[in-house]
A and B are shown apart, each in its own frame.
Chain A
């Protein structure tokens, strides 16, 4: 009897912890929103963060995009040739990349590569009381440390997602046209016929912008509120990757339902 009550109580505590976490993140987001525009008074800081988060993630994004495109080309060709429709390979590869895989996979990779780094950096600053020192000197750490990192991540993700899709489509071209012998003109022709500029490319861009904002918020929040200990830092970094991945996938479903539903 006692064990059952304990189990229920534990479940209740887990739930309450989750709600509290979400609530304090929302409060933090509001607090952060106030400094987001003033952050642009120091564009150098943002630029530095775009470099750290975006440019340094380029290698993993481009390589992953290439391989995803190659695999899509290979698998798509196998399935489509069953229906004698291998000419549609291009549009299959392009639409799956532009609508879904580009934004989602780029965001997941970004969360692992750059989001965790942002969290770790901020958490270490907090652990070593650098943030407190800034406050002592009347410098707002939200504005000088958190804001630029938020912008850096949010700007980088859509750009990385676009490059991911582009490289993926070229990868599909390599495997489909160069290796498997799909007609080159119909690879590009079908893409051009069926890909919509606003609905598909624009929709993908909006998605990746939203993913960028979510990952950026989670990364800086987890770092800012990390327990100032070694294990607290480790937990915060893990939490960033787990929460970002789940948030991206969940948000992707909701956004897809709205954009491509009906």
Chain B
């Protein structure tokens, strides 16, 4: 009976340890939670989103304040319409804020950087950021540079 009890105890510990390992990895070491921001939605249209994907971060002054929720083609303008969810904590962004697509590092992942404007009213749920700057496509920059050089 005593031995059986010991076995039960060890198995219980083993099962607990295994589940705890899964939980630690899934909840502590992953972007769980960070990927599910609750907040208000803002859209922005870009001529070219480059490598931006759903779940890409939305940053303000380098800090992540939201995530990209969806990217679709706007049927009339043929621009990419990016829907972003921004944390409710940052509900005082001016309406004339600027949305740029930047790259983290030279070849890193792309993200949306919000540069605040100066308007008094702030962005609300469903608003659209009108001033945007597309992702920089390396090839077009290089070819522009080469053509400019050739002209000289």
Contacts and interface: CB of A to CB of B under 8 A. Distances in A.
Interface of A: 44, 47-48, 50-51, 54-55, 58, 94, 98, 155, 158-160, 162-163, 165-166, 169, 188, 191-197, 200-202, 205
A92 to B, nearest CB: 14
Nearest to B27: A197
Contacts of A160: 18
Given A196-B31, A197-B27, A202-B26, A51 B17 contact: no
A162 B18 CA distance: 6
Contact of B30 (A44, A50, A58, A200): A200
Contacts of A200: 30
A162 B34 CA distance: 22
B30 A197 contact: yes
Given A193-B31, A201-B30, 5 more contacts: A158-B18, A166-B24, A188-B29, A191-B29, A197-B31
Nearest to A191: B29
B25 A166 contact: yes
B44 to A, nearest CB: 23
Contacts, number: 76
B19 A196 contact: no
Classify chain B's interface size.
20 to 34
B25 A47 contact: no
23 contacts: A48-B7, A51-B7, A54-B11, A159-B18, A162-B18, A162-B25, A163-B17, A163-B18, A165-B21, A166-B24, A169-B29, A191-B29, A192-B30, A192-B31, A196-B30, A196-B32, A196-B35, A197-B27, A197-B30, A197-B31, A201-B25, A201-B26, A201-B30
Contacts of A55: 10-11, 14
B22 interface: yes
A242 B24 CA distance: 33
B7 A195 contact: no
Nearest to A158: B18
B34 A192 contact: yes
Given A47-B8, A48-B7, A51-B7, A194 B21 contact: no
B11 A47 contact: yes
A166 B27 CA distance: 13
Nearest to A164: B21
Contacts of A165: 21, 25
Contacts of B34: 192-193
Contacts of B22: 158, 162, 201, 205
Nearest to B33: A197
A64 to B, nearest CB: 15
Nearest to A166: B21
Contact of B21 (A163, A192, A196): A163
Contacts of B7: 47-48, 51
Contacts of B35: 196-197
B146 interface: no
B15 interface: yes
B30 A195 contact: yes
B31 A195 contact: yes
Contacts of B19: 159, 162
Contacts of B18: 158-160, 162-163
Nearest to B13: A55
For the complex of A and B, 7 pairs with smallest distance between CB atoms:
A159-B18, A197-B32, A162-B21, A201-B26, A166-B21, A195-B30, A197-B30
B26 A197 contact: yes
A98 B31 CA distance: 14
